[in-house]
Structure 1
Amino acid sequence: MTEPSYLAAVRESYDTVADDYAALVKTPSELDPLSRSMLTAFAELVQASGRGPVADLGCGPGRVTAHMAGLGVSAFGIDVSPRMIELARSAYPDLRFSVGSMTALEIEDDTLGGILAYYSTHHTPPELLPVVFAEFHRTLAPGGHLLLAGHVGTGEHRRPTHGYGGHPVSYASYRLPAHQLAELLNQAEFTITAQLVQEPDEELNWKFASFLACKPTTEEPA
């Protein structure tokens, strides 16, 4: 599969801002109680299913991957930015991190117990989200769980010129309505088990949403 053109801008931009991103972004322990509870619920669901490891897709510097490991889940991280992966490997040498894209995962079918896409799909053009969600579905084991979280809006399309630390960036950012993301997950044959939409706080001007979903199991007829 030819790599989608938008990924080059995402890769270059996050390579540029990676060190400042790692210094500025909150750790999971600093998140609000509801966001932390969704991560904990996801970890418990994955553990209860016994299906396999969790892939943290768009893992950045690895903090959420490490948080999952701290909750007792076998987890590894994938990110499109080589610099982010360098930072993750340096900070968490006992965990596995690799460079890759969620549009074409080098993971076998039906092997993952969980997928975590934590604020990592908003740079994907909306017309390509079905490709991404299809990869999530392909690689999850039946009965596996997905936690998708990120900012939501009314369909805004933004092209910031500067990112973390004031460095130049060239990626685009999309804020889709929560109901549109839910519809896309349903179209990808996920069953949504919970969703949470949170209002903006004093630091953030955007609503953000979390979706817990699972890949249905297929029962053989008796």
Structure 2
Amino acid sequence: MTAEPDDVTETRTAYDLVAEDYAELLQDDLAESTYDRVMLGAFAELVQRAGGGLVGDLGCGPGRIAGYLAGLALDVVGIDLSPGMVEVARRDHPAIRFEVASMAALPFADGQLAGALAWYSVIHTPEERQDELYAEFARVVRPGGVLLLAFQVGEEVVHLTHAYGHALELHTRRQVPERVRSRLAEAGFTVQAELTRQPVPPEKSPQGYVLARRELD
């Protein structure tokens, strides 16, 4: 049996630890995030225009984005590596299905999803394994389906030792938009729109969003 990568263990442990406080601190964040709502609204509209269907929130955390998308009439399922986060998501959004799973091995059949989003969730995977994530996204999103990514923009690997009121160990990796576009193209997606906005305190880096469509076979 292959040993779990250290970064996966670190990420799960950190988010299990902060799950309750993370959910509380960010529960009203979307109400103050115009660009977040704009990109999520565009994603929802594109999914619906393409015929609708199941949408995967990949790295769903406590379910706040899944809950917002459900409010936009999408059929959403959330997955997260952290059992603690999934427990909070199930409690706070009982009408939505949430499962514990890795983004590197998604619990969906080939082409099962009409759309997927990875909302600040590719950021914990080292660069050398991110191609695998994009390939897995392409496997589960049907041709013509939609993918939305959100991430911090930059080159740095940030080592967190304290976050959400807890001492912890967690690494986040800012993303270079050009590299993101290249990975999407290699995996079989075509970029439809891209937005970079300036940071709003306490953010320390620009924030990036990319909407892409799975290429038709």
Q: Cα offset for 1:51?
A: 5.0
Q: Cα offset for 1:79?
A: 0.5
Distance in 2 between the 1:79 and 1:95 partners? 13
The answer to whether the 8 A contact 1:28-1:64 is kept is: no
Identify the residue that residue 7 of structure 2 maps to in structure 1: 6
Distance in 2 between the 1:116 and 1:128 partners? 18
Q: What's the secondary structure of 2:21's corresponding residue?
A: helix
Distance in 2 between the 1:189 and 1:131 partners? 13
Identify the residue that residue 192 of structure 1 maps to in structure 2: 191
Q: Which runs of 5+ in 2 are unaligned?
A: none
Identify the residue that residue 202 of structure 1 maps to in structure 2: 201
Distance in 2 between the 1:157 and 1:202 partners? 19
Q: Cα offset for 1:46?
A: 0.5
Identify the residue that residue 64 of structure 1 maps to in structure 2: 65
Q: What's the secondary structure of 2:94's corresponding residue?
A: coil
The share of aligned pairs that are identical, in percent, is 44
Amino acid at match of 1:40: G
Identify the residue that residue 159 of structure 1 maps to in structure 2: 159
Identify the residue that residue 175 of structure 1 maps to in structure 2: 174
1:83–1:134 Cα change, 3 Å: same
Distance in 1 between the 2:91 and 2:27 partners? 18
1:31–1:52 Cα change, 3 Å: same
The answer to whether the 8 A contact 2:47-2:145 is kept is: yes
Distance in 1 between the 2:13 and 2:58 partners? 17
The answer to whether the 8 A contact 2:30-2:36 is kept is: no
* Matches for 1:121-132 after TM superposition, within 5 Å: 121-132=122-133
The answer to whether the 8 A contact 1:28-1:67 is kept is: no
Distance in 2 between the 1:112 and 1:5 partners? 29
The answer to whether the 8 A contact 2:191-2:213 is kept is: yes
Identify the residue that residue 143 of structure 1 maps to in structure 2: 144
Q: Cα offset for 1:172?
A: 1.2
Superposed CA offset, 1:2-38 (max 9, x none): 4433111100000001111011125364242222111
1:48–1:28 Cα change, 3 Å: farther
The answer to whether the 8 A contact 1:122-1:174 is kept is: yes
The answer to whether the 8 A contact 2:151-2:175 is kept is: no
* Matches for 1:55-134 after TM superposition, within 5 Å: 55-134=56-135
TM-score calculated relative to the size of structure 2: 0.95
Runs of 4+ in 1 over 6 A off after TM superposition: none
User: What do you get for the CA RMSD once the two structures are aligned?
Assistant: 1.4
1:163–1:203 Cα change, 3 Å: closer
Greater fraction strand:
2
1:54–1:172 Cα change, 3 Å: same
Superposed CA offset, 1:26-81 (max 9, x none): 53642422221110010011111125210001101101101111001000100001
The answer to whether the 8 A contact 2:188-2:214 is kept is: yes
Distance in 2 between the 1:31 and 1:54 partners? 24
Distance in 2 between the 1:183 and 1:69 partners? 30
Distance in 2 between the 1:203 and 1:163 partners? 12
Amino acid at match of 1:55: G
Q: Which runs of 5+ in 1 are unaligned?
A: none
